[in-house]
Amino acid sequence: MDAKQLIAEGKAFLGIEFGSTRIKAVLIDGKGTPIASGGHGWENRYENGVWTYTMDDVWEGLKDCYADLKKGVANQYGVKLTGFSAIGFSAMMHGYLAFNDKDELLVPFRTWRNTITEEAAEKLTKEFNYNIPQRWSIAHLYQAILNKEPHVKDVAFFTTLAGYVHWKLTGEKVLGVGDASGMFPIDTETGNYDQGMIEKFDKLVAASGTGCTWKLSDILPKVLSAGESAGTLTAEGAKLLDPSGELAAGIPVCPPEGDAGTGMVATNSVAKRTGNISAGTSVFAMIVLEKALSKVYPQIDLVTTPDGALVAMVHCNNCTTEINAWVNVFKEFYELMGQKADMNELFTKLYSVALEGAPDCGGLLSYNYTAGEPVTGFDKGALTFTRSAEAAFNLGNFMRMQLYSALGALKSGMDLLLKSEDVKVDEMLGHGGYFKTKGVGQRIAAAAVGAPVSVMETAGEGGAWGIALLAAYMEANKASGQSLQDYLNKEIFAGNKGEKLAASEEEIKGFEAFMAQYMKGLPMEQEAVKLVNE
C-alpha cells in the first residue's frame, strides 16, 4: 500500500511530541517510515519566578501543529486526514501540573526547567535513599507542601505535560512507565511506583500540617508499559486536536511518554548494555542497566525505558552553545577578509580540524558553562579558556578542546557509572547537532565513553518519530506479543545498524588526560563564576 492510500484509509500512525521550543508531528507507515510531518514553534515564559507554558499555549500549539500536518498531507498527497491506526503523545518530562476534583488547574504549570525545589529534592533523596532531582514532579509537590501553599490540600490529580494532553484527549489518567519514572521512583520488579517510598511520602505529608487528606497513590496517574492500551480518542478530544471535525473519534492511543523514552526508541537503545547520547544545546546520556547501582549518586538520575527497564541518566545543561559562539567569531573573521561564509561548510571544516589536534588537546582547557552545571556542582555558569605558555595553541587543539569541553561535565557523571559502578555498555547511539559533522563528534564521544558510538540517519526524526513508533508497537503487540526490543530490531531497524565508530586507545587516553586537568581546574571555574556573576 502506498503512502497516499495508507493515509486515505486511516492506516498510518501519528506521533506528536511537545519539545521545549517546538511541537512536532510525524506520520509513519507500519514499517516506521516517516511519510509526513508538521510543526509549531513555541517558547516557555518566565512569570512570577516560574518557567511555564499556559494551557492556551498547549492547545493552540497542538492545533496549529496538527493543522500544519494536515496542510502538508493535502499538498503532498491530495487527501484528507480523517483517522489513524493509532496515535501517541509525548512531551518534556517532569514538572508539575496539579488539578482539583473539578479538574481545574490549581497553579500555573511548573516545567522541568525550574530550580525552585532544592529543599524538597534534598529531603526526599535522604528519606528515600534514592536520587530525586529538582525537576521531578514529586519534588515540586513536596516543595509546595514545605512552602505550605494553600492549593496542596485540594490536589486530586497531578501529572506531566504528556499525561495532561493524553488525559484531555482520551479521558484516561495514565502515564507510560518511562514518563512516570520522572514523576516518582519506579519499582522495576512490579513496573509500578515504589510502594515503600509512597508510604514514606504519605507519612511526610501527614506530618506537614497542611491539612492534606489525600494519599499519594490516589493522585498519581496509573502506570502503563509500552504496548498496553491507553484508551481511545474521544469526540471531545478529536475536536481539541482538529476543530474542523474531520478527525474521527475512537482511534486507539498508546501510553503517553516522556522525551527521554522516545529518544531511546528513536535510537533503538532500549536493550540492556545499550545507551544513547543526545547532544545539542544541552546533553544527556542514558544507559540501560543490568542491575541497580550500589549507592545514590546526585549526578545520576534513575528512570526507565518505555517497557520498564532501569536506566541511568546523566543530564547536563551545557553542550554546543559555546562551540556555536566560537564558530560565529570565525565567521566574522572570514567575512572581515572579504569572504562569504557558508555556515554548514564552516561548521564542517572547524569540527573536522579538531581531529588534527592532539589527543589531550595540547594543554588547552575550557569550561562551556553558559548556565549552571549541577553535575559538577555549579548553580551558575561562566565561560572560561585557559592555557599555559608552553601549551600548543593551534586551531586543531583549540577546536578539539571545544568538543571535549562540550562533553566534560557529561563524562564526569558517566565515569561514575563506567568506573565506580563498572557498568557495561556495548554500544552508544548518538543523535543531535553535535553529531552532524560526519565522524567527528561521534569519534570524540566514543573516546569519552570508551565504547563504540553509532549514528543513524533516522535518529534525526527525533521524539515525535519515537512516540509514533510506540503507537505502532501498541497495535503490533496486540497480534504478536513481541517485546519492544524485538519489535524495534526486527520490524523497524532491521538492516539499519547505523555507522559505528570506535575511538583508538590513544584517543581514549587523550580524553582521560584532558579530563584529569578538567577536574583539577574546577576550583578555577568556581572563582570565575564568582567574578563574572558579581
Q: What is the pLDDT of residue 427?
A: 85
The per-residue pLDDT for 247 is 97
Note the pTM of the prediction, 2 decimals: 0.88
The distance of Cα 379 from the centroid of its chain, to the nearest Å, equals 21
The pLDDT value given to residue 424 = 92
Domains and CATH numbers, the chain: 1-92+160-181+226-265 (3.30.420.40), 94-159+185-219 (3.30.420.40), 269-455+504-534 (3.30.420.40)
Rounded average pLDDT over 156-181 = 98
Residue 496 pLDDT > 90:
no
CA-CA-CA-CA torsion for 507, 512, 516, 518, nearest 10 degrees?
Answer: 70
Residue with cell 509500552: 226
pLDDT, residue 374, reads 85
pLDDT in tens, 28-46: 999 999 999 999 999 999 9
Please give the grid coordinates belonging to residue 331: 565567521
The pLDDT assigned to 458 comes to 64
- What pLDDT is recorded for position 459? 57
Span 250-270, mean pLDDT? 94
Around Cβ 101, how many Cβ atoms within 10 Å? 10
pLDDT (0 to 100) of residue 417: 94
> 9 pLDDT band (50/70/90 cuts)?
very high
The C-alpha cell 528512570 sits at 303
Chain Cα centroid distance, residue 342: 30
One-letter amino acid identity for 438?
A: K
Average of pLDDT values for 448-460? 81
DSSP reduced 3-state for 387: strand
User: Hey, what amino acid is at 103?
Assistant: D
pLDDT at 497: 63
Residues contacting residue 128 through CB under 8 Å, at least 6 positions apart: 185, 194, 197, 200
pLDDT average, residue stretch 120-132: 96
Burial 465-484 (b: 16+ CB within 10 A, else e): bbbbbbbbbbbbbeeeebbb
From the list 275, 288, 278, 262, the residue with the least C-alpha distance to 315 is 278
Report how far residue 134's alpha carbon sits from residue 95's, in angstroms, rounded to the nearest whole number: 9
Q: Is the pLDDT of residue 526 over 90?
A: yes
The percent of residues above 90 in pLDDT, for the chain, comes to 87
Q: What pLDDT, on a 0 to 100 scale, did the predictor assign at position 436?
A: 87
Which alpha helices (DSSP H) does 82-136 contain, by range?
118-128
Tell which residue, 86, 89, 73, 85, has the closest CA to residue 3: 73
Mean pLDDT on 206-221: 96
Query: Which range in 106-120, 458-472, 484-498 is most confidently predicted, on average pLDDT?
Result: 106-120
Residue whose C-alpha is closest to residue 448's, from 417, 469, 493:
417
Average pLDDT score over residue span 47-67: 96
